[in-house]
Structure 1
Amino acid sequence: MLNLSDRLVHEVRENAAGIESAGSLSPGILDYIYEAKLFKLFVPEALEGLGAGLPEALRVFDQAAWVEGSFGWLVTIGAGGGFFAATLPSEQSRKLFGGRKAVVAGSGHANGIATPVDGGYRVSGQWKYCSGSTYASMFTANCKIDRGLGGDAEIRSFVFMPEQVKIIRDWKSFGLKATDSHSIAVEDAYVPAERTFDIFSTPHYDDPIFRYPFVPFAQTSFAAVCIGLCRHFLEEARSFAAARQADWGTTQPARLTALTRMLDDKERAYQQAAERFYDTVDRTWAGRCSRQAARVSLECAHAIFPLLGMAALMEDHVLNRIYRDLHTVTQHTMLSSVNP
C-alpha cells in the first residue's frame, strides 16, 4: 500500500490556506507528486509508472483528499489521465507518458470540431473544468469529426501539446479553489492521427485496470475523494467540539450535546458507507456503490455543519474549506443523483 509521507501531510496541511488563496499547488508539493509518481499511478511500469490496481489507487485518492481537498482532487484527476496510456498508439504512449512530469488535463465533453486533413485533423474548440491546466504536459479533449456527411457525428479523443492550448483562467469556484480547473481553447490546431484515440478501444497493455469500464473507474475515483474529505471533516469537527467543551458546556450545553450526538451518529454512518464501498471494490472492482458513498459523505457534513456555530462560517476555517470542497466534488456529473 502506497502511503503519503508525514512530511507531505504536514506541508500540505500547514500551507492549505495559502494554497487556496493562490489557487494553485506550490512547486514543492508538485515536486513531491512527481517524485512519488502519484500522477503515474495507472501508467504501466514499462512507461516508468506504478501500474497500480484500482483498489490500491482508490485508497491513495482517499488519503490525499483527507490531507487536503484540492491536493486530493488533483492527484485523482492527474492519475486518472494515465488510463489513456493504453488506448493511444504505443509509440505515442511512450513519448507522452514516459517522462517524470507526465500528466494530463482535459475534458470529456465533445466541445471541439475536428476536420480531417492529410495525416490528421485541424481542431478548434473550447472546454471547461480542466483541472491541473497550468502544469499539464498534455491536454486531452473530445471532438466531433466533421466529415460533412450529415447525421450523428463521430466523437474521438485528441491530445494537444501545451503550446497549442490557450488557458482561460476562469476557475472561480465555491470549493477546490486550488485545482487550476480553468477552461482551455485551441484554434485551428493540427493534431496528427496518431495523437488521437478512442477510450473504448481494445487496450494494448495487459494491466487489469485498462479492462475496467471507464465510467465506474471515474465514479469510484471521485467517491474515494468524497470519503477522504468526509473523514477529514469529521476529525476536524470532533476536535472543534473538544475545544469548545469548556465554554459551551457552560454557556450552550444543548448545542454541545447535539453536536456530540450528531458526530457519533454520522461517524457510524460514514464508517458503514466507507466499509461497504471498499468491500465492494475489493471483491469485484465494481462501482455501483460510488454515488451512495458520496451521498452519505455529504449528508454527514450537512448534518454537522449547522451545529458548529459562527466560527465555521468563516472561509479561512478548515471546516469551512472542507465543507466547500466536499460540495464541489459531489457536484460532478459522475456522482450526481440525476446521472443514470
Structure 2
Amino acid sequence: MAHTCAEVSDETRTWLERVEKISATLAENRAQAEADRTTSPAVIDALRTQDFHRMWVSRALGGGGVSLRTGSAVLQAIARVDPSAAWQMGVQGAIGRLSDYLPDKVSCRLFCGSRGLVVGGVNPTGAAVRVPGGYRVSGRWAFASGATHASWLVCTATLADGQGVGPAPIRMLCVPSSAVTFVDDWHSLGLRGTGSASFIVDNVVVPESHAVDGSLLRRPPSPRRSRGYAIAYYDFAPFTTAATTIGIAQQALAVFRELAARTVPARSTEALAERATVHATFARATALVRAAELVLADAADQVTTCGEHGGEELSAVVRLAAAAVAENCVQAVTMVHTAAGAAALRSGDALDRCFRDVHTATRHITLATTNFEMVGAHLFGGPLLMRR
C-alpha cells in the first residue's frame, strides 16, 4: 500500500533513489543468497558503493549521518526486495553507533579506513581479563550477521575483575576478522542470506582503545565534534531491526494482493481477491502494518528531539515501539499467508519467504515480546530493566 501523501524529506528521497539504483542487483541475487546462506559479494559491493553500510556513521568520520527517519525508510525499501541484505545493513547501523563511543582514531580505522563490514555478537558470551594496555578475550558468539564480509568483529564479554560484587562489568571489544575462527552453523528458517554464523576468539589481546564499557551504552555518548547522534546505543539499535521487519510485512502485502488476484482455489469459481472475507483480512493486515509504520516514525521523532535527555521514559517509548512493530508485522504476514491457503505453501515463493523472514527477524532481542513486560513494569512505576 503506497502512502503517496506522506511528506518525504529531500534527504530521504535522495537515499531512496540510491536503493532504486541497486534494486535489480538485489533481486537477481536473492535466490542464490538463500541457497548459499550468505549474501553474494556482488550485492555487498553494490550496497557499499551506495554507502548504506555507513549511512548511520557520523559525517565527521566519513559516514552518511542520516536521520532516523531516513535510515528507517532505506532499510524498509531494501527489505521489500531482499530482507537479508536489509538486515545486514541494519546490523551495520547498530554496530556503527559504537563509533560515537570509541576514540576518533579507532572509529576512523574501523568505519572509514576499512571497506569491510563491522559485525559481531552483543550477547556477552565471552570472557575478558585485564592485561597491560588492554584485555585478553576468549569466547564464542552466535548470530554474527554479515560475518562472511566482515573486517572487524565485536566481541561482547564479561570482565573478570576479581571484585565479586554485583554483576560483572561488560566490555565490547573490537577484533580483526583475521584473529577469528568462523563456524558455518547458519541453517535458519528465514533470513537465510544473512550468513549469521558463529565465531570463536581464543586468547586475543585487544587494546584498551578498541574497547567500549558496556555500562555507557544506556546513555548518549559524550559530546564531541565527531559525535554523530546524541542517542544512547540501546535507544538506537531497535530502529534497525524494526525497520527491516516493516519492509518484510510491506512486501508480504504487495505479494498477497497480486497472488489473490490470480489464485482460484480448488473447486471454486472465483479468485481469492473476489471474496469478502479476503477483503476484510487484507484490510486488517494493512492496518496493522500501517500502525507499525506510524509507531516507529513517532518513536524516531521523539528520539531525534529528546535523545540527549530522554532517559528511561524515552527508552521505554523505543522498546514499546519495537515490540509493537514486531507483533503487528508477524500478525499481518501470518494473516495473509493463511488467507492464501495452499498457494502460500510453495517453498521459495515470495509469500513463503516473507513468512519465514518475519518470524526469524522478530526473534531478535530488540523485538522480543519480553519488552512488553519490562515496559509494562516501568509504566507501573518500576525501573526500566533490560531483562528480568
Same fold at TM > 0.5:
yes
Asked if the contact 2:159–2:168 (Cα under 8 Å) also holds between the matched residues in 1, the reply is: yes
CA drift of 1:103 comes to 2.3
CA drift of 1:9 comes to 1.4
Partner of 1:318: 350
Partner of 2:187: 172
Task: Give the secondary-structure state (helix, strand or coil) at the position aligned to 2:366.
Answer: coil
Q: Does 1:333 align with 2:365?
A: yes
Structure scoring higher RCO (CA < 8 A, sep ≥ 6) equals 1
Task: Give the secondary-structure state (helix, strand or coil) at the position aligned to 1:296.
Answer: helix
The Cα offsets for residues 100-121 of structure 1, whole Å up to 9 and x where unpaired, read as 5142111111111112112222
Q: Decide whether aligned partners of structure 1 residues 13 and 240 sit closer, same or farther in structure 2, where only a CA change above 3 A counts.
A: same
Output the TM-score relative to the length of structure 2.
Answer: 0.81
Measured on the aligned residues, the alpha-carbon RMSD in Å equals 2.3
CA distance in 1 between counterparts of 2:191 and 2:347 reads 13
Partner of 1:54: 68
CA drift of 1:256 comes to 4.1
Task: Give the secondary-structure state (helix, strand or coil) at the position aligned to 2:229.
Answer: helix
Partner of 1:187: 202
Aligned residues: 340
Asked if the contact 2:252–2:333 (Cα under 8 Å) also holds between the matched residues in 1, the reply is: yes
Partner of 1:269: 288
**Could you tell which deviates more after superposition, 27-36 or 259-268?**
259-268
Asked if the contact 1:111–1:125 (Cα under 8 Å) also holds between the matched residues in 2, the reply is: yes
Asked if the contact 1:158–1:195 (Cα under 8 Å) also holds between the matched residues in 2, the reply is: yes
Match of 1:229 among 227, 248, 257: 248
**Matched residues, percent identical?**
27
Partner of 1:6: 20
Q: Decide whether aligned partners of structure 1 residues 316 and 170 sit closer, same or farther in structure 2, where only a CA change above 3 A counts.
A: same
The Cα offsets for residues 114-136 of structure 1, whole Å up to 9 and x where unpaired, read as 12112222111111111111111
What letter matches 1:236 in structure 2? V
Match of 2:298 among 265, 279, 289: 279
Q: Does 1:302 align with 2:325?
A: no
CA distance in 2 between counterparts of 1:73 and 1:5 reads 14
CA distance in 2 between counterparts of 1:17 and 1:136 reads 22
The Cα offsets for residues 5-31 of structure 1, whole Å up to 9 and x where unpaired, read as 434212222332221111111111111
Q: Decide whether aligned partners of structure 1 residues 277 and 119 sit closer, same or farther in structure 2, where only a CA change above 3 A counts.
A: closer
CA drift of 1:245 comes to 5.3
Q: Decide whether aligned partners of structure 1 residues 208 and 161 sit closer, same or farther in structure 2, where only a CA change above 3 A counts.
A: closer
Q: Decide whether aligned partners of structure 1 residues 18 and 58 sit closer, same or farther in structure 2, where only a CA change above 3 A counts.
A: same
Asked if the contact 1:90–1:204 (Cα under 8 Å) also holds between the matched residues in 2, the reply is: no
